[in-house]
Structure 1
């Protein structure tokens, strides 16, 4: 019990399966071996898969990414020393399963994803979404903006994803953030790409991107300036705005993430990505996604392991903030005399 008479969240949250009783390689592959959402009723952080990759322009296969990340997450443990937190004790984290989407109609799929996100966010949960290709970011951002207004965006990716159309299609994995800007769901004072690199169709791509309000931190910038300086710049740009983080796993160098649809040489290391995320722990993270894991091109689970650790760091940030918010609310109740000592 807490000092104000409330049961602490640590006593309420149901965590992962006990690995001293059930080996990590046994049993259902939920994210980090956490309970399913239907087993706990509601969650503070819902891990949800979106097995959709009909918006890709090159290699398909990201529809299998969510389950590959879940399998690779079996070795995640309940205490995160890098953030000095036990995320699955601080908040109820649960695996909400997959959103069933139409693989033959992108528009219908986008609508389905938005509806599913609306339903989960409507319970008060934050979302940790496992893709799927990057098309799914648009409906997720639409849904988050319904609750928070236009949000700040940190977009980790080798590519800009602010192109207009492919073969006349407005909704693809290369267009979600142009659409999001056009629809007003992003705060254009706080938009950043991180880890971009590689050839473009022309300099106009960069000019158009800048007009939308995006700042760019390339993978070379991270290498030359270092993680701490880059992270400090990102924090200043975000401020106290509600933040959505979208991570295309191809932000990592192919040495660290070969299992993806559009690999580009010269990317971040997995260590750099994880350290940047840890440095954003003070930001108001309202939801996040990790996308574009295509396990058919992976080997030794290199990509899905990196993605599972990435999702773990994001989940930890959200769980810590949820717990801090509850402590603050409990303190206010005690100060107002509404809670028995």
Structure 2
């Protein structure tokens, strides 16, 4: 049954032929569908240039669980996002058709099956030229996402924002966890070992060998202290030189931010970056050839006043704006 009363319709912004967010001048931001940035669902558009995909999975965590609710929390916090991004002078939803792809139905009881399911789902987007912004979920999901972009582009550069290295070998004998995805990615040959970077790492490690292994894999490290002491512009320049013209995947564990800026996460560490620093680094990288991106480890149960979810929603918005900037060149 199609309802005809105007108050029951969903008024949308149409810009440059693209179906955009719900019009907030006609429907309050706290009302209407809870899609990312109030954008249309994938099944409401003929085709999409960019899809925002949720992965409600946290079976790979080693401390606090709850990131399975991250996609819902990020979407809810994204209601306040607006169509024009003044920081980079672009209206991303007018430049590209962006849609919410919903959540991938991954098995919460079988990590291997969940990884395979996500690789297949994300691979379909990659093969059809649809750029993904993935909202998680724990960091285990980065591995199948990297596999799907590497299947199209070959080994990709990686910029990894995180308090932790995530290049450990196993936890309790398990090879696939949120602390191991980038070691597996190096072993599988799906990342370019000449262009790997960690940003924002900090805190105690199990031993010096953690850093030795990391260097052997090819990673360069820019700690949160480096960001503070050297400044955003110098870090951006270093990352741009390291990536060059390669296709690049950007993976962000929200715990890269200090707990003051992101309390809602599973493994918080003191001394992290500010949300302003993170957003400014992303904006500084925006002309790099982005082929995939994720923001993970948002756990709303620990997130008072949606601080973490708000930060993650803005990160995802910057990724969409980054894609839009590449498409409008």
- The TM-score range, normalised by the shorter chain, is over 0.9
2 CA distance for matches of 1:12 and 1:242?
28
The alpha-carbon distance between structure 1 residues 10 and 321, as it changes in their structure 2 partners (threshold 3 A), is farther
What SS class does the counterpart of residue 271 from structure 1 fall into?
Answer: helix
Specify which of 235, 242, 252 is matched with residue 237 of structure 1: 242
2 CA distance for matches of 1:246 and 1:296?
22
Extract unaligned runs of 5+ from structure 2: 1-13
Shift of 1:123: 2.1
Q: Do the aligned partners of 2:35 and 2:41 also contact (CA within 8 Å) in 1?
A: yes
Give the match for residue 222 of structure 1: 227
Give the match for residue 155 of structure 2: 150
Give the match for residue 277 of structure 1: 282
Encode CA deviations 1:176-215: one digit per residue, 9 max, x unaligned: 0000000000000000000000000000000000000000
Give the match for residue 141 of structure 2: 136
Specify which of 21, 31, 37 is matched with residue 26 of structure 2: 21
Shift of 1:90: 0.4
Give the match for residue 99 of structure 2: 94
2 CA distance for matches of 1:319 and 1:121?
17
Give the match for residue 258 of structure 2: 253
2 CA distance for matches of 1:92 and 1:102?
30
Specify which of 22, 39, 58 is matched with residue 53 of structure 1: 58
Aligned length: 316
Give the match for residue 326 of structure 2: 321
Specify which of 297, 302, 315 is matched with residue 297 of structure 1: 302
Shift of 1:320: 1.5
2 CA distance for matches of 1:153 and 1:268?
19
What SS class does the counterpart of residue 145 from structure 2 fall into?
Answer: helix
TM-score (norm 2): 0.95
Q: After TM superposition, what 4+ stretches of structure 1 lie above 2 angstroms from structure 2?
A: 9-12
Encode CA deviations 1:220-274: one digit per residue, 9 max, x unaligned: 0000000001111100100010010000000000000000000000000000000
1:180 aligns with 2:178: no
TM-score (norm 1): 0.92
2 CA distance for matches of 1:41 and 1:292?
32
Give the match for residue 113 of structure 1: 118
Q: Do the aligned partners of 2:287 and 2:325 also contact (CA within 8 Å) in 1?
A: no
Q: Do the aligned partners of 1:42 and 1:123 also contact (CA within 8 Å) in 2?
A: no
Extract unaligned runs of 5+ from structure 1: 1-8, 325-341
Instruction: Tell which deviates more after alignment, 153-162 or 117-126.
Output: 117-126
